[in-house]
Chain A
C-alpha cells in the first residue's frame, strides 16, 4: 500500500515539466517575481528614453512621490489578504490629516498631541469598518464604499472645505517633508517612515502567528475557525491596524504636500488597490507578499515619472497602468491553477 503510493509520488514529482509549467510553479511560490521583473524592465526602458531617470536626484524624487501611496497600500494589502477591499483608504487619510492640522492651527494644540489624536481617529475609523464587516457581516466593498462617502463628507464639513497651509502648522506636523541627502539622493523622513512601516508590517506578516492568521482567514475563514483561529477577531484587527497605517500616511502627506487639503489625493483608493494588485497579491485573499506591494507602488510611480521625463503624454501612464492591472490579475488567475 505505502510502497505503491510512494512510487506514484516519485513518478509524479519526477515527471517532466514544460518551461511554462516551471514558470507557473515559480510564480506560485514567489508571486512578487513578476512585478520585480516589470519594475527592472521599466527602469531600463525609462533610462534609455531619458538617461536623467537613473540619476540619484530622480530616484529621490521617485521615492518621495511613491511614499504616500506605498504607505496606504500597506493597509490595503492587509485588507486584501483577508479577501476584503478597502475603498475608504483615502477618505480616512484625508479626514485624519484635516483633524491633525485643525487641532494644531485652530485648537492650538502642540504638534505631537494633534498628530496622536489624528492617528487615534484614523484607527477608530478602521475599527468602525472592521466592526461593520465582522459584527453586522456586511461585505467589505459595501462597508468601505459607505464609509468612503461618510469620512469624505465629514472631512469637508469639518474643514469648511478650506486648506491649512504648512506655515500655519507646527514643525512637528511638517517634519516628515524634511529630509537629508546621501550623495545626490535626497530622502525625506516621510520616505524613511514608510520604509520602517514596510519592515515592521512585513516582519509581522511573515514571522508571527498573527501574520499566519491573516493569510488563513483570507484563504478559508471556516477552516481557519475550525482550526482554532479567532477569525472574526483577526479580521477586526486587520481593519483597525489598516486605519492606524492610514493615519501615519496622513502625517506623511502633510509634510509631502506642504498643506492639509480636504480634497487631496482623490485617486488614493484606486492607486493603493492598483499597487497591491500589480504587486502580486490575490484579490481572492490568502496569497501575496507585502514586498510585492512596495514593488507595485514603485511601478505605478515610475511609469508616471519615467513617461513625463520622456516627454510622453500623461494619459499613456493611465493607459499603461490599466493594462498592467489586467495583466497582473490575469497572471494571478493563471498561477492559482497550479495543482
Chain B
C-alpha cells in the first residue's frame, strides 16, 4: 500500500522538470525513527525520492544524514517507520537486500580493490561466467565479456579518461577511482543510486567530472541521493535539497527557492523554514 506523496512546491521546479514529479516516488521513507538506548538517531523523518531527480541530503555532523541513508540502504534497520520502494513496503535486513532490490550505494571509503583491474572491480561479487560447460562446470569467468560491458558502462557515463578496462585501479587518480565506483553503481542500480560524499577527496576538475556523472545518472532515469558537505556541489547538481537537523528533517528546498546562505542557515538552525511552504 503506497503512501500518499509528501507535499511539493512545484513553483520552484523548472517547468521542463515538473513531469518528473507527476509520477509516484521511487523511494519513500515515512516517519523513520532510530533509537539506540535513549539516544535518538532519527526522529520521525519523511522523504520522497523521484525517478530522474537528484535529491541532496545536507546537514551538520550528527544531524542524521548518514543514519537516514543507512536506513534506506539496509545498513541500519529503523526502530519504527516504513520504507517504500516503487510503491511497495520493503524491509531490508542487510545492505545486500537493498542492493538486490535495485538500490546501489557508493560509499565514502569507495569500496574498490586497488590490486584488481577496472572490469573486475565493476563486476566484483557479481561475476559473470562463460556460457556452456566452461562456465557451469569449470566456473570460468567471462573476462572478455565483462571487460567489454564494463567499457560500455563507463562510456555511458561520459568518462573518456578511462580506456583500458584491464588496468589495475591503483593506477587511477582519485577521481577516476570514484568514477569506477559510480559506474559500478550505475551499472547495477536499477532504481536508486546513493552517493555518500562522492567529491570529498577530489580536486576541482575531478569533482566536476563526478558531478557530471551524477547528472548523467539522473538523466538516465535513476533516482539519485547525494550526501554532501560541499554546498557549491549540492547547489550545482541537486534538483531538491533535504535538510537534516537534530535527527529530523528541517525542510526540503530547491536551489532556485533558497541560496546557499539560506540553506546553511536552515541547516544550523539560524533560520526556520516555514512548514507550510515546503519546496
Residue ID in chain A nearest B167 by CB atoms: A29
- Please determine whether A216 and B116 come into contact, CB atoms closer than 8 angstroms: yes
Q: Can you list, as one digit per residue, whether each of B62-106 has a CB less than 8 Å from chain A (1) or not (0)?
A: 000000000000000000000000000000000110010000000
B23 touches A (CB below 8 Å): no
Q: Is the interface of B mostly helix, strand, loop or mixed?
A: loop
Contact partner, B125, options A4, A5, A228, A287, Cβ 8 Å: A228
- B115 x A286 contact (CB < 8 A): yes
- Selecting from A71-79, A204-212, A303-311, the interface stretch reads A204-212
Contact of B139 among A208, A229, A338 (CB under 8 A): A208
Q: Is A226 an interface residue (CB 8 A)?
A: yes
A9 touches B141 (CB 8 A): no
A2 on the interface (CB 8 Å rule)? yes
Q: Does A165 contact B (CB under 8 A)?
A: no
**A246 touches B (CB below 8 Å):** no
Interface mask (A217-260 → B, CB under 8 Å = 1, otherwise 0): 01110111011110000000000000000000000000000000
Identify the stretch in B205-213, B217-225, B239-247 within 8 Å (CB) of chain A at 4 or more residues.
B205-213
CB proximity to A under 8 Å, residues B113-164: 113-116, 120-121, 124-127, 129, 138-141, 158-161
Asked if residues A286 and B113 are in contact (CB atoms below 8 Å), the reply is: yes
Complex Cα gap A209–B140 (Å):
8
A8, B161: Cα distance in complex, Å: 9
What is the bound-complex CA distance between A210 and B141, given in angstroms? 10
In this complex, the interface size class of chain A, counting residues with CB under 8 Å from chain B, is 20 to 34
Q: Mark A1-29, 1 if CB is under 8 A from B, else 0.
A: 11011101100000000000000000001
Report the nearest B residue to A213, measured CB to CB. Answer: B125
Q: Distance (Å) between the CB of A275 and the closest chain B CB?
A: 21
Task: Please tell me if the beta carbons of A4 and B205 are within 8 angstroms of each other in the complex.
Answer: yes
Which residues of B (16-38) have their CB < 8 Å from a CB of A?
none
The answer to whether A219 touches B113 (Cβ under 8 A) is yes
Other-chain residue from B111, B175, B208 in contact with A226 (beta carbon distance below 8 A): B111
A222 CB contact (under 8 Å) in B99, B109, B124, B140: B109
Q: Does A215 contact B (CB under 8 A)?
A: yes
Q: Is the CB of B209 within 8 A of A216?
A: no
Q: Is B264 part of the binding interface, using a Cβ–Cβ cutoff of 8 Å? A: no
* Distance in Å: Cβ of A306 to nearest Cβ of chain B: 34
Q: Please, how many angstroms separate the alpha-carbon atoms of A210 and B170 in the complex?
A: 21
When the two chains form their complex, are residues A227 and B113 in contact, meaning their CB atoms are under 8 A apart? yes
Q: Closest CB of chain A to B209's CB: distance in Å?
A: 6
Chain A hits for B107, CB < 8 A:
226
- In the assembled complex, the Cα of A180 lies from the Cα of B128 at a distance in Å of 42
Q: Is A135 an interface residue (CB 8 A)?
A: no
CA of A111 to CA of B223, assembled, Å? 64
Is B277 an interface position by the 8 A CB rule?
no
Taken together as a complex, chains A and B put the C-alpha atoms of A338 and B169 apart, in Å, by 12
Q: Is B110 an interface residue (CB 8 A)?
A: yes
Contact with B along A121-157 (1 / 0, CB 8 A): 0000000000000000000000000000000000000
Of all chain B residues, the one with the shortest Cβ separation from A218 is B115
A2, B209: Cβ atoms closer than 8 Å: yes
B158 contacts across to A, CB distance below 8 A: 2
Q: Which residues of chain B have C-beta atoms less than 8 A from A8's C-beta?
A: 161, 205
12 contacts between A and B (CB under 8 A): A2-B159, A2-B160, A5-B160, A203-B138, A219-B116, A223-B110, A223-B113, A227-B111, A227-B112, A229-B125, A286-B114, A339-B171
On B, residues with C-beta under 8 Å from A are: 95-96, 99, 107, 109-116, 120-121, 124-127, 129, 138-141, 158-161, 168, 170-171, 175, 205-206, 208-209, 212
Q: Nearest 7 A-B pairs (CB), nearest first? A: A228-B125, A226-B111, A209-B127, A9-B161, A286-B115, A219-B115, A223-B111
A interface list, Cβ under 8 A from B: 1-2, 4-6, 8-9, 29, 203, 207-210, 212-213, 215-216, 218-220, 222-224, 226-229, 286-287, 338-339
